Structure 1
Amino acid sequence: MTTPLTLTEEYIFAHDLRSSSAKIYRASTKALLKHFRASPIEEIDHRAVLGWRKKVLENGLSKRSWNTYSNHLRTVWGYAIEHGLVTHTTINPFRKTSVIPPKRASKTINGDSIQRGRNWLISLVGQERCTQERSKITPAWFWLAVFEMFYYTGIRLNALLCLRYKDIDWDSQMILVRGETEKTHREFFLPIMEGLAPHLCRILGEAEKIGFSPDDQLFNVNRFSRHFHGKEMNIDQVEAMYRKLTDKVGVRMTPHRFRHTLATDLMKQPERNIHLTKSLLNHSNIATTLSYIEVDYDHMRAVLHERSLAQGALSRVRRVDTSGTPQLPLTKARLPAPDIEKLEPKKLSAPKQSSHSVERDSRPIRSTGPSALQKALEYASAQLRPESIPDNATDQISDHLDQSLLLTLMAGGLGAGTFRKHASSDRSMGIAQFPQASP
């Protein structure tokens, strides 16, 4: 009789999976059996799967956990349909059953926290060397080397635990990561950087003293300390160290967060070489690399700022005054209604004239105030200070001041011919002119 469990075991048998991957497939199948119990496999159709999804999500299962079940079971059913293990249908019941999970919190660690963690481990190294006593994380020099391995290379935790003594090629300064230890099943190399070299050199030297064989696990704290008695170092020991580090620094630290941080930091570089990042993290799909990269909002802000500069959008921003209070751009849309009206050119009504005034205006008029023109120009200059007027209001104010200047000149006793002389000069300079009122 065909059951979900037999389908899962057939899939695991046919594929070269790591033990941790096989464990996830079996866990997903057990969750399915918990809901459907002994139901015939024919009854597990698309609608039944959606009913299961609804129930477990209502009971508090996270959307990410549901997607893990859905994706793995979809793979198992796809294999079963393709190879004729399921004959009652050709439709995969788990197709399109995933849900959109909420955005995860940032998995990166800021540089200050990383440096504080490093400094603490360095202080423990000095403490153990001086006192010859066991520190909180011991041996501190070993765990500092583990810390730097994750920081410099972004290596996966399982890959680090599977490194052998012979996988370190000191002559070529390279680290071999074997395919059977990787999720992608692909072999690749990691370069030994200058900052990492002293720590690896220390481990290799200590391993040589103890008499490591080529196939021995290199990062094995049990071999370097009399306080541990296990045969091989496991995930629990690494995670225990990082929990102590998290408690000390106050920021959550894990090997995988170092991996996310490395990917994000590399993409902040001017070159932003995503293929280099993909190769370093040994991803088979570039989309996976992109999912590791956190948004750099500082870089985003700088790019948007450069765009606004290039397009001239910042030309209307006022300077900061001496008091340090930033001034808002003085655009027409921001002005209150009364102020906007002040910027609009006012229509001058034609002056009332009598028969005597016509005859009087036809004669040259001398200025009764010799400084009237100077005062008018000073007034116009004060009103047209560039730091107090936005670009879109300049033309309106220029028209308004032409009117004010005309009235001032007339009040000062200057003739219309004098004003026209200045007006023609202004027109040649590209200054907008106000139409003269008819006498």
Structure 2
Amino acid sequence: MLTDSFLDYLRYERNYSDKTVRAYGEDIAQLQEFMKEEMGESDLLRVDPDLIREWIVSLMDKGYTSTSVNRKLSSLRSFYKYLLKQGKIIVDPLRKIVGPKNKKSLPSFLKEADMNRLLDDTDFGEGFKGCRDRLIIEMFYATGMRRSELIGLDDKDIDFSASLLKVTGKRNKQRLIPFGEELEVRMREYVNVRNEVVPGRSDAFFVRESGKRFQPTQIYNLVKRNLSKVVTLKKRSPHVLRHTFATTMLNNEATLGAVKELLGHTSLATTEIYTHTTFEELKKVYKQAHPRA
């Protein structure tokens, strides 16, 4: 059989895993089943571009994502290229087939009301740990810095007199981020508690109870644990707070260029994804509020 020969080729000549080979086989069988329903036959050598296009439409109608459909098309492309090399077909039926475009996922972010509940109404606990954990959440939200930038922050990088933070981003590129009075109060409070409770510590601004710098996983778990108190978002990572910072700034009339500099993006195109996020939020508000939406 053509399919068996192709799968043996993948398994023994291309060294594909059993799982991958099985997925290729299932994709081909799914097309064959569709062909049988539409044409009353299942000869894969008689597949044409029109049938492939109809199959794509049927998959999308059944709720398959564009990513899933494109993965199936990739399997079929490999199959028909193999048949072409074997001389079983003269023309590849997928030669001019274009799969559905994959949708770009918009960044997850918290609404201002959720952030207010988190920072104003949530109990972070008493003492050094509670003071520190709350400040970490607020630092992400107030500055938009990356997780690695927060972990790498040292005492010397904070200029209280100028209200500036110096962070080291990707490719060791440094930038300055301003901070406001509210964050300054929290930072000074934290420093006082930290210096009293953790005498022997590293140069890091944020430290664990041992005085050592945080590991990335520890910051991730800290943020996830606290975001879970107010939201049920699938993603509850430090990067969500970075997205929240950018979205909040743009919703409150900050310019795209200013947000780009604050986030440390090298290209304005990277920052522009947040304009889509704010527009999606506007569409939701419109649909909820307008009687003719």
Cα pair 1:151 1:262 within 8 Å, conserved:
yes
Cα pair 2:107 2:240 within 8 Å, conserved:
no
Any stretches of 5+ residues in structure 2 without a counterpart?
1-9, 15-20, 28-63, 71-98
Residue deviations 1:89-119 (CA, integer Å, cap 9, x gap): xxxxxxxxx9943332551111222122223
Higher relative contact order (CA 8 A, sep 6+): 2
Cα pair 1:154 1:259 within 8 Å, conserved:
yes
Decide whether aligned partners of structure 1 residues 173 and 187 sit closer, same or farther in structure 2, where only a CA change above 3 A counts.
same
Decide whether aligned partners of structure 1 residues 298 and 63 sit closer, same or farther in structure 2, where only a CA change above 3 A counts.
closer
SS in 2 for 1:175: strand
Cα pair 1:161 1:219 within 8 Å, conserved:
yes
Indicate whether 1:248 and 2:249 are aligned.
no
C-alpha displacement of 1:261:
1.7
Find the counterpart in structure 1 of residue 40 from structure 2: none
Find the counterpart in structure 1 of residue 272 from structure 2: 290
CA distance in 2, matches of 1:36, 1:102: 32
CA RMSD, aligned part only? Answer: 4.2
Spell out the pairing of 1:7-18 with structure 2 (5 A cutoff): none
CA distance in 1, matches of 2:11, 2:176: 46
Cα pair 2:166 2:176 within 8 Å, conserved:
yes
Any stretches of 5+ residues in structure 1 without a counterpart?
1-34, 40-51, 67-97, 130-137, 225-230, 304-325, 329-439
Which amino acid letter does the alignment assign opposite residue 119 of structure 2?
A: R
CA distance in 2, matches of 1:299, 1:291: 15
Which amino acid letter does the alignment assign opposite residue 214 of structure 2?
A: M
Decide whether aligned partners of structure 1 residues 174 and 269 sit closer, same or farther in structure 2, where only a CA change above 3 A counts.
same
Find the counterpart in structure 2 of residue 119 from structure 1: 120
TM-score, length of structure 2 as denominator length: 0.57
Spell out the pairing of 1:226-265 with structure 2 (5 A cutoff): 231-252=212-233, 253-265=236-248
Spell out the pairing of 1:17-416 with structure 2 (5 A cutoff): 100-104=101-105, 106-121=107-122, 123-125=123-125, 128=126, 139-178=129-168, 182-209=169-196, 210-211=198-199, 216-223=203-210, 231-252=212-233, 253-270=236-253, 272-293=254-275, 294-297=277-280, 299=282
Identity value in percent? 22
C-alpha displacement of 1:259:
1.2
Residue deviations 1:165-194 (CA, integer Å, cap 9, x gap): 21111222211112xxx2253210111211
Decide whether aligned partners of structure 1 residues 295 and 223 sit closer, same or farther in structure 2, where only a CA change above 3 A counts.
same
C-alpha displacement of 1:301:
9.0
CA distance in 2, matches of 1:63, 1:298: 25
CA distance in 2, matches of 1:268, 1:286: 17
What count of residue pairs does the alignment treat as equivalent?
Answer: 208
Decide whether aligned partners of structure 1 residues 172 and 250 sit closer, same or farther in structure 2, where only a CA change above 3 A counts.
closer
Cα pair 1:163 1:217 within 8 Å, conserved:
yes
